[in-house]
């Protein structure tokens, strides 16, 4: 099994107006429909998905490193709305038309803010987290995650410093092993997948842990935009066996109810790794939107 994992076919970067560089990796035909990939926590650009179906579907997949991760220059004070502005410049710099977006896990808010800003024409969130600081979600949270949300709200600067000081690729792999169900670990630890995943984490921490820590702070604190303002179609994908401990605790039900054009898909016999087991379904649905 290959899980659609392929080496990037092209690497590059876009120079932003403030001089920073935003790095990306690409798979699929140059003239394909552009789909931007916003990956999970500390994942570098080299790990894509759907490599075995991109040509057939006519998809140009572009994975983008967030600031301070992998090949993208740091922006220590960045916000979620700053990210939407960065991606807008990337879209212009690459000459993309009608770009769609896919966000995995902690990439969810970074995808949704781009949808809210009109940078994307449609979006898919796969095994994504919700805005966990919302009061209605508090009773559903894993206790460890609830504590992280509390700490991020109480003292965001200290929260960020704490993760910057001790996080690395091995620590995050341990988190993945701890919180992933067995059926996900059968994929993540598979010889055809684990080396690519762990390589992407090493890339993500190549500048240190500050970029990862900033991402966590932005994800766990209240989002500076309202998902109810998103006017483009959004598909939310979850596996029925995803425990929701680090993703949405109710498989996207609360999130879907707040997004006007959202559709929720729950695959009963899968876990959180559905991006690599159901890539064709996810991409076909996104293209049809």
| pLDDT tens, residue by residue, 248-278 | 999 999 999 999 999 999 999 999 999 999 9
Distance, in Å, from the CA atom of 165 to the CA atom of 162, rounded to the nearest integer, reads 5
The stretches in the chain having pLDDT less than 50 are none
Distance, in Å, from the CA atom of 274 to the CA atom of 285, rounded to the nearest integer, reads 14
Distance, in Å, from the CA atom of 264 to the CA atom of 250, rounded to the nearest integer, reads 11
Top CATH class, 10-288: alpha beta
Q: What is the pLDDT of residue 10?
A: 98
Distance, in Å, from the CA atom of 100 to the CA atom of 115, rounded to the nearest integer, reads 9
Write phi, then psi, for 261 (nearest 5 degrees).
Answer: -110, 35
Rg (CA), the chain: 17
- pLDDT per position as a tens digit, 83-137: 999 999 999 999 999 999 999 999 999 999 999 999 999 999 999 999 999 999 9
- Which candidate, 95, 74, 157, 120, places its Cα nearest to that of 235? 120
Contact 83, 41 (CB under 8 A): no
Domain ranges of the chain: 10-288
Q: What is the pLDDT of residue 2?
A: 79
């Amino acid at each position: 099994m290959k899980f659609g994992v392929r080496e990037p076919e092209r690497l590059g970067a876009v120079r932003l107006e403030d001089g920073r560089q935003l790095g990306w990796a690409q798979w699929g035909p140059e003239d394909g429909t552009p789909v931007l990939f916003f990956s999970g926590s500390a994942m570098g650009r080299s790990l894509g998905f759907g490599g075995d179906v991109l040509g057939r579907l006519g998809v140009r997949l572009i994975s983008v490193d967030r600031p301070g991760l992998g090949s993208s220059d740091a922006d220590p004070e960045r916000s979620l709305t700053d990210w939407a502005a960065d991606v807008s410049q990337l879209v212009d710099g690459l000459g993309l038309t009608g770009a769609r977006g896919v966000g995995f896990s902690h990439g969810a808010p970074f995808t949704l803010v781009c949808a809210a800003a009109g940078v994307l024409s449609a979006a898919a969130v796969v095994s994504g987290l919700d805005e966990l600081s919302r009061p209605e979600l508090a009773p559903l949270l894993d206790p460890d995650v609830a504590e992280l949300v509390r700490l991020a709200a109480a003292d965001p600067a200290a929260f960020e410093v704490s993760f910057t000081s001790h996080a690395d690729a091995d620590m995050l792999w341990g988190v993945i092993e701890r919180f992933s169900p067995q059926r996900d670990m059968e994929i993540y630890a598979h010889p055809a997948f684990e080396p690519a995943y762990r390589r992407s984490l090493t890339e993500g921490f190549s500048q240190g842990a500050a970029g990862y820590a900033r991402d966590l702070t932005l994800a766990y604190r209240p989002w500076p935009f309202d998902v109810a303002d998103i006017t483009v179609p959004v598909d939310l994908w979850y596996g029925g066996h995803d425990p929701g401990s680090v993703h949405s605790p109710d498989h996207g039900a609360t999130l879907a109810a707040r997004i006007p054009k959202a559709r929720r898909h729950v695959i009963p016999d899968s876990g959180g790794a559905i991006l690599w087991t159901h890539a064709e379904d996810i991409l076909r649905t996104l293209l049809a939107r």
